[in-house]
Amino acid sequence: MDDKLVAPGNYITADQYHEERLRAVSVVLQTFARRWLALQEVQRLRRDRDRRLRREDFNLLYHALERAERKAALCFLLETETQLIAAIGHHRIAVQNNNYDKVVRNLLDKVRVGGSPQWRAADGRLIEMDSEHTEHECQLTRDIVDLSDREADLMTRQVKVASLQGLRKRISTLFLQFIKTPAFNPEVAKHLKVPQNPSQLKNDMFQCRGCQRYLQSSDFSPTAGARLSGRCRDCTGLDNIARSRDDFSCYRNI
């Protein structure tokens, strides 16, 4: 069967059709007009920029173009150098902490508190006589006794060991200060860098021009003219690390 069913659609008049076409053409024309106006504005700005450019401006552009790769390489080297300096600083701090413990142990080995007498027995054993405990009444000893009593009280209360680390560190620091006091331990005067005689201390003090500290002559490096340099060894070493970075270790064995 060849019959078909055809349903009529919305009827569009000629005026409606022409109105829709006019609206579409208007949108297209507005788009091209805006594009043309934008291009004109860009060209005007470019002409204004070119009119203000001078020879020095072009030289600056060429200079930046030639040094771009070099500046990038220098920035990379600076970043690498910063990382290496930070790593060396961390390693140096760790070594200084280890050396501090070694210095304290060596000082305790050299110095005997109170000068306790010692004898060598026939079989080679070292015999040491324990002297009577004498309390030196001063603020330092009172602080040590108070902190020791506080530690004992906290231990009886079963405080954790991690919580006692700060208190024990403070006690160790005060006890080391007690050992380094010649009034309590006369033997330590032989191993102290700072002389106990005020006249000797006054005649052997010099001011460093770098850190502005007053130090002994042994803290300064002598020059070729047998005179002391104006900067101490610490300032000289810091300046060498920061600028020249010369290695003089090869001259030690000459």
Give the SS3 label for residue 127: strand
Cβ atoms of 147 and 174 within 8 Å: the answer is yes
How far are the Cα atoms of 177, 195, 205 from residue 216, in angstroms, in the given order?
21, 10, 5
Answer yes or no: is pLDDT of 132 > 70.
no
The DSSP 8-state label assigned to residue 154 in this structure reads H
Nearest 5°: the CA angle 177, 183, 185 is 65
pLDDT given for residue 36 in this prediction: 95
Answer yes or no: is pLDDT of 150 > 60.
yes
Answer yes or no: is pLDDT of 200 > 80.
no
Answer yes or no: is pLDDT of 69 > 60.
yes
Q: Which residue has the higher pLDDT, 173 or 127?
A: 173
Q: Which amino acid is at 105?
A: R
Torsion of CA 211, 214, 220, 223, to 10 degrees: 90
| Range of weakest confidence among 16-30, 74-88, 109-123 | 109-123
Contacts of 157 (CB under 8 A, 6+ apart): none
pTM over 0.75: no
Residues in the chain, how many? 254
- Residue range 3-29: average pLDDT? 89
Cβ atoms of 167 and 151 within 8 Å: the answer is yes
Q: Tell the CATH topology of 193-247.
A: Wheat Germ Agglutinin (Isolectin 2); domain 1 (3.30.60)
Answer yes or no: is pLDDT of 184 > 80.
no
- Domain locations in the chain? 136-192, 193-247
Among 150, 139, 148, 225, residue whose Cα is nearest residue 178: 139
End-to-end CA distance of the chain: 121
